[in-house]
A and B are shown apart, each in its own frame.
Chain A
Amino acid sequence: MSLQPHELPRPSEPPPKALRSTGINWMRRNLFNSVFSGALTVLLTVGLLVGILAVLRFLFSPERRWEVIPPNAVNYAVGSYPREDLANVWRSVWIIAALAGLSTVFWGLGGRVSLIRTLAAVRAAGVTVLVVGALSLWSPAGFAVRSWLVWGGAFLAAAGWAGMRSIREDRTFSAASALAALLLGGLAIGWFLLDAVAAQWHGRLVVTALLLLAFHWIGRLAGTRISEQTMKRGTTLLWLLSFPVIYLHVQRSPRLVWEEVTPWLPWAGLVVVAGLAVIGLVSRLGREQAAAVNFLLGGVAILSWAVQWPMAIRVLALLLTLFSLATPTFAASPQSRRIFYWSWLGGSLCLLYFFLLGTGSTDLATRGEFLGGFNLTLMLAVGGIALSFPVGLVLALGRTSTMPVFRLMSTAYIEVVRGVPLITVLFFADKVIPRFLPQGLDFAGEAKALLAIAAFSAAYLAENLRGGLQSVSTGQFEAARSLGMTTAQMTMLITLPQALRAVIPAMVGQAIALFKDTSLVAIIGLADFLRVARDVVPNQPDSLGSILENLLLAAVVYWIFAFSFSRASLRLEKRLGVGTR
């Protein structure tokens, strides 16, 4: 049924044209609309100029030794990673560049950029540089720097202004080509400015840029053949895989000593195969018989710790007991049984994989601190976020669950961890955890720091997520239940998607905080980015005592990453906001 169209007494009119916003008009309305606001505008402008001038005086003071930073780029990037193995690090950069290239396809870079808005941005940047250049006349900046700022700013402003004048109609160009131009232009400028250092890296940087562009186009080509969903899932999977590949294979370059592995590897393989049979059997048995089998398995798993079987076998036996315990509840239908088989295969093989790599020694020239500098910071931040997310999710679901034991355990964990400073958790992980592990087993410092950060962050994340879960209205649960969904389906399909959307800003804030908090790992002896800036570089013979320069650089680098992350999340929010109420 539809409404009958009928005559209305008055047709709709176009809205009145907005007053043309000239500069003077705008200033009168926004900056000088009253005596008080006029005075405030003048005062704040003067303050701003004085502040900029102070910064310029600091930057261009003859005492500043900015030239010490470029030669220390490798220290900043990887800390004490053996210099003869730097090729490993470049390989991991290339992996990330290739994956980033693939991901750019989904980041809206297939879209288009408006020419007028780009020119306006160029003009604004030019004016800013020009103002800074004019102020630099009162600073100790050298003649060359001043001229570059003044003439460069003037040129950019003029180019932007002239460009905007000359085009009548807006045109758009593809965001991907804009990115390519920016990248190549940046490389050219970098080559010109950092020519002493960049000369030896230039080939590798070009490879990085080309990989990024090549994989962008590969992604777009593939996008025409495979569905977007498959592409997205595949890319996400590759990103997840890239993490262990980079840090366990490429950078650590492990070498397996087969004589140490061969005694237990066949047995471990046998346990994996036996696990499939056990799951198949238990899922077909009645409740009582299944309980008996589980009891037997649990006994074997506990016994295995007493008789000193190889560690991998003991842990596999424990994992199998857990799987078998969950089988009667979760693997009753043939379909879920198949999922269970695959989860067991995936879980046990992952476990074996980490055991194999853990026992392998490494090809690196020096053993021990193979991670440092920004590489360590990035590993801790990315790994911490990736690990804390599933843990936080389980904790949040636990705290809102109706099962009392689950709820109590989650609440206790959250409240304990939230009541303790991160430094305490780091110390605890470093000094206390090894005492609970079997003799002779200890994690590397990096792994302990990662676990501590993830465990800490998970508690906060859980509280954020709980807020999101509680914001979903009861009507949603009732609708899902009335359609016959199980609790698990309701959680995965209805509750979580809405809850996650609601807490994106809070989660991004937490991720940024975690990224910055990784600098605390210096306290358990790791050389992260900030510690390199504070302790390592100022103690190098050719850059002795250059503490201010390096701390400022560290601050700028942290800010660049945190700020781009926050911008990216704004885009995500906008994109996901389509279906909000």
Chain B
Amino acid sequence: MENGTTNDIIICENVKKWFGDFQALRGVTVSVAEGEVVVIIGPSGSGKSTFIRCINRLEQHQEGRIIVGGTELTSDVRNIERIRSEVGMVFQQFNLFPHLTVLQNITLAQIWVRKRTRAEAEERARELLERVGIPEQASKYPGQLSGGQQQRVAIARSLAMDPKIMLFDEPTSALDPEMIKEVLEVMQELAQTGMTILAVTHEMGFAREVANRILLFDEGQIIEEGPPAQFFNNPRHPRTRMFLSQILSH
């Protein structure tokens, strides 16, 4: 899986990124195949969120190459919007639009970006609300929902664009323990449908069960990568062992 085969949907080569003088990414090279579920873990400040945000260009990398779905992300990509609409993203803080109802949250981009009719968009939205298990909340405002429900709406909102890739940026970190499970179930179901997923998460259970591959980030680079079985039971790098012992000990 190391270097680009033909069905690699994301190819990153030696990606570097600085915030002022601080180097957040120190040369990240990784490829993700279509339908693969990749979980990214690592201590806070290790650059994992920055990396995932570079893939839909919410952050701009300064060196190296990122190729998403055959298009290289550079500063003169004219229709970055088209690429972004193929890459869904779910945020730690949900970022639902508070002035719109749940249904409007899900239909808005379908109508304006995908140019669907209102009827089509609403049908798709209701279908997705059904799939994430909250069809009865369609006419409520985000502020009236629990955190877990909000995050599931956010997932439905991304899925409504029919993306080829889904990025999850710590989707369960702002949730109560009771609600984490309902979001993870949705993500797990999504993985089983063959969606390409890149997820930054601290949910080791999810990583172990669902991921095809786990990446460990530290100080802006990937220091260990491999399938879950190998990653958890037989890590090669001492840093990995230390990290695992810290998060699995309690």
Contacts and interface: CB of A to CB of B under 8 A. Distances in A.
Given A483-B157, A484-B84, A484-B161, A581 B98 contact: yes
Contacts of B100: 579
B182 interface: yes
Contacts of B113: 483-485, 489
B143 A579 contact: yes
B109 interface: yes
Interface residues of B, number: 35
Contacts of A262: none
Interface in B117-149: 133, 141-143
A498 B96 CA distance: 12
25 contacts: A1-B185, A476-B95, A478-B91, A478-B95, A479-B91, A479-B95, A479-B154, A481-B56, A481-B58, A482-B91, A483-B109, A484-B82, A484-B86, A484-B113, A484-B161, A485-B112, A494-B97, A501-B99, A579-B98, A579-B142, A579-B143, A580-B98, A580-B99, A580-B143, A581-B143
A553 B167 CA distance: 66
B95 A483 contact: no
Contacts of A497: 99
B88 interface: yes
In the A-B complex, the 8 residue pairs with the closest CB atoms: A484-B85, A479-B95, A483-B109, A482-B89, A475-B95, A579-B141, A484-B84, A484-B113
B102 to A, nearest CB: 11
Contacts of A478: 58, 89, 91, 95
A84 to B, nearest CB: 52
A478 B52 CA distance: 13
Interface of A: 1, 473, 475-476, 478-486, 489, 493-494, 497-498, 501, 578-581
A483 B101 contact: no
Interface of B: 56, 58, 81-89, 91, 93, 95-101, 108-109, 112-113, 133, 141-143, 154, 157-158, 161, 181-182, 185
Nearest to B53: A478
A208 to B, nearest CB: 37
Contacts of A579: 98-101, 141-143
- Tell which of A473, A476, A482 has the most Cβ of chain B within 10 Å: A482
Nearest to B133: A1
Secondary structure class of chain A's binding surface, majority of residues:
helix
Contacts of A486: 81
B174 to A, nearest CB: 11
Contacts of B93: 475
A489 B112 contact: yes
B182 A482 contact: no
Given A475-B93, A479-B95, A480-B97, 15 more contacts: A473-B95, A476-B97, A478-B95, A479-B89, A479-B154, A482-B91, A483-B109, A484-B81, A484-B83, A485-B112, A485-B113, A498-B98, A579-B98, A579-B101, A581-B143
A484 B161 CA distance: 9
Nearest to A3: B178
B97 A578 contact: no
Contacts of B96: 479
B91 A475 contact: yes
B97 A479 contact: yes
Contacts of B95: 473, 475-476, 478-479
Nearest to A487: B81
A497 to B, nearest CB: 5
Contacts of A580: 98-99, 143
Nearest to A475: B95
Nearest to B113: A484
B108 A493 contact: yes
Contact of A493 (B81, B89, B112, B157): B112
A501 B108 CA distance: 19
B98 A482 contact: no
A478 B96 CA distance: 10
Nearest to B57: A481
Given A478-B91, A479-B91, A580-B143, A485 B98 contact: no
Contact of A482 (B87, B133, B141): B87
B197 to A, nearest CB: 15
A501 B141 CA distance: 15
Contacts of A482: 56, 58, 84, 87-89, 91, 158
Contacts of B157: 483
Contacts of A485: 81, 109, 112-113
B126 to A, nearest CB: 18
Contacts of B91: 475, 478-479, 482
Nearest to B114: A484
A578 B101 CA distance: 10
A483 B87 CA distance: 8
Nearest to A576: B99
Nearest to B88: A482
Contacts of B158: 482-483
B98 A483 contact: no
A483 B58 contact: no
Nearest to A484: B85
Nearest to B85: A484
A498 B88 CA distance: 23
Nearest to A581: B98
A498 B181 CA distance: 32
A428 B211 CA distance: 70
A1 B151 CA distance: 15
Nearest to B86: A484
A412 to B, nearest CB: 29
B152 to A, nearest CB: 11
A482 B108 CA distance: 13
A481 B99 contact: no
Contacts of B161: 483-484
Nearest to B87: A482
Contacts of B143: 579-581
A484 B182 contact: no
Contacts of A578: 141
Contacts of B101: 579
Nearest to A498: B99
A57 B91 CA distance: 68
A143 B112 CA distance: 71
